[in-house]
Chains A and B, each alone.
Chain A
Amino acid sequence: MLLLAFDTASPAVTAAVCEPVGDGVRVRASVSSVDARRHGELLAPGIQEVVERSGAQMADLTHIAVGIGPGPYTGLRVGLATAHALAEALGIACHGVATLDAIAFASGRTTPFVAASDARRKEVFWARYDDALTRVGDIAVDRPADVDTGGLPVIGHGAHLYADVFGQDAAQAEPLYPDAAALGELAVRRLVEGRELPEPLPLYLRRPDAQEPGAPKKVRQWQA
């Protein structure tokens, strides 16, 4: 198994090549940069770079794992469109990993916590975890003040942005963004364990923002 992992559902653009080794996972190469406006420009060169640095060719890849969000939609779709087309062209399997799960996994925590990412519009995407590998329930989108943290520590970019609302030090929010090395390691582990991963489909959690128009605006000033 040689797995290409990447995620674009946060301000970070991150890619890695991973493989199972013994009981563990080896990350052959990884790259990350934070630039919320350039996902479309950075991802493909990033993938090319990690594949080259891992000493492999595109044709050697056997699996793709892609972050399915939730996260800002335009960036999220860069990763998914890339994953779908790569998998189709290479004829290999493509799986999804919730971006928040990758952040939680990278935290390495062994006790309960909450992970929260920035959902924009003064909201966060969030979920509770028993430990780094175990999410409890579904991911939700709420205003920070409405998140029931149960007094647990909160990690992720959402925790950093709203540290005052969550009543904790912003410095304790690490890791802020997903890292493809962690996402890939999580995916390899699950696949080796024979567990199912989500379909590579976007977690939007919100409907498109659009309003049906009313009657056309009048152009004449009506006489009283």
Chain B
Amino acid sequence: MSNTDLPLILGIESSCDETGVGLVRGCELLSDEVASSVDQHARFGGVVPEVASRAHLEAMTPTVQRALDRAGVKLSDVDAIAVTAGPGLAGALLVGVSAAKAYALALGKPLYGVNHLVGHVAVDQLEHGPLPKPTVALLVSGGHTSLLLVRDLATDVRLLGDTVDDAAGEAYDKVARLLDLPYPGGPPIDRAAREGDPGSIRFPRGKWGDGTYDFSFSGLKTAVARWVEDAERDGRPVPVPDVAAAFQEAVVDVLTRKAVDACREHGVEHMVISGGVAANSRLRALAEERCAAAGIELRVPRPRLCTDNGAMIAALGAEVVAAGLPPSRLDLATDTSLPVNRPLAG
């Protein structure tokens, strides 16, 4: 289906360690280019903000050019520019926002500073079409673990719960280090866990059954550390697959349980899971099982769209434009802790 009557949106993302640029018309994905600095952070065991910011500056205009080439359009064809205004790393956000303002100024096109977290939900529209209303969204990544009630992507997003300490992806990175697995920890733990028995060790489920939709993974990480240290002290070999599987089960058990509970309480029949951790095979499998049992339709974008990218920002930009919201001003400020109930930063 051709949508050439819909505005062409350029989306720019630079909130963490991926420089992402996407081009979107409505729900149609035209291109999605990402330059990642993840390899430069690996030896530090986590994202180093200054390293990420330097990489964003180097990658920004070449990535925009690649996205235009891939979509077969020119910069002058762009109708509006959407950019992540927050939440994220201050210095990293500022590179994308500065570039986006410059494009808007040079092209004389409107600028929309949008919310990274809501972008993670909006991106599903590029794969599965318009989001059913309302939808419960579970956002899980290295920086975020949030449960949202989405009635309208552009105008009505509510935060139901959030992590009170570590993000789920952060817990994966820390446990991977304990097990001598590489950074980022998600994929190697997922792989190791396939050979392990998730029931062999019972790790704690943080904030399980506490009546909130909040999460906690810091205690879980410490419990894994204790278990590993005890084994080493006693001279027992650490069964990496079993520890990985048991840890992973504790994470995805709480995530999926609370997400399904949120659907039930709010009478919602649709769920989206997105963010980098949505690429996790056990999270997908358990969520499918529990959603099916509860009569909830589950949507999970393909892994490439789950991690940070510019297409998700363009997808949210398209929603904001379609809703007729006013463009951001050129003095738009980045907001490292932009709340999720503001899809458009202002």
Contact = CB atoms under 8 A, between A and B. Distances in A.
Contacts of B94: 39-40, 74, 77-78, 81
Nearest to A208: B50
Interface string B209-244: 000000000000010011001100100000000000
A81 B91 CA distance: 12
A198 interface: no
A88 B98 contact: no
A204 B50 CA distance: 11
A121 interface: no
Interface stretch (B155-163, B274-282, B330-338): B330-338
A84 B98 CA distance: 10
B105 A81 contact: no
B44 A44 contact: no
Interface residues of A, number: 39
Given A74-B91, A211-B44, A40 B334 contact: yes
A211 B51 CA distance: 12
Interface stretch (A110-118, A138-146, A166-174, A215-223): A215-223
A85 B50 contact: no
A212 B329 CA distance: 40
Interface string B80-98: 0000000000110011111
B44 A77 contact: no
Interface in A65-97: 73-74, 77-86, 88-90
A73 to B, nearest CB: 7
Nearest to A222: B233
Nearest to B333: A41
B53 A43 contact: no
A80 B331 contact: no
A38 to B, nearest CB: 8
B98 A81 contact: yes
Given A74-B91, A89-B102, A204-B54, A210 B331 contact: no
Given A73-B53, A86-B102, A219-B225, A212 B44 contact: yes
B50 A210 contact: yes
Of the candidates A43, A73, A216, the one having the most CB atoms from chain B within 10 angstroms of its own CB is A216
Contacts of A40: 94, 97-98, 333-334
B177 A216 contact: yes
- Chain B binding surface SS class: helix
B188 interface: no
B236 to A, nearest CB: 15
Contacts of B90: 74
Interface of A is mostly: helix
A166 B75 CA distance: 51
A83 to B, nearest CB: 8
A89 B106 contact: yes
B178 A216 contact: yes
Nearest to A8: B98
A47 interface: yes
Given A74-B90, A77-B95, A81-B102, A218 B229 contact: yes
Query: Which of A80, A82, A202 has the largest number of chain B CB atoms within 10 A?
Result: A82
A58 B90 CA distance: 28
A89 B60 contact: no
A169 B278 CA distance: 61
Interface of B: 43-45, 48, 50-51, 53-54, 56-57, 60-61, 64-65, 75, 90-91, 94-103, 105-108, 174, 177-178, 222, 225-226, 229-230, 233, 329-334
6 contacts: A48-B330, A58-B106, A74-B90, A81-B95, A208-B48, A210-B48
> Considering the complex of A and B, which 5 residue pairs feature the smallest CB-CB distances, nearest first?
A89-B106, A85-B102, A208-B50, A81-B98, A44-B101
Given A77-B54, A218-B229, 7 more contacts: A40-B334, A44-B101, A45-B329, A74-B90, A82-B102, A85-B64, A213-B177
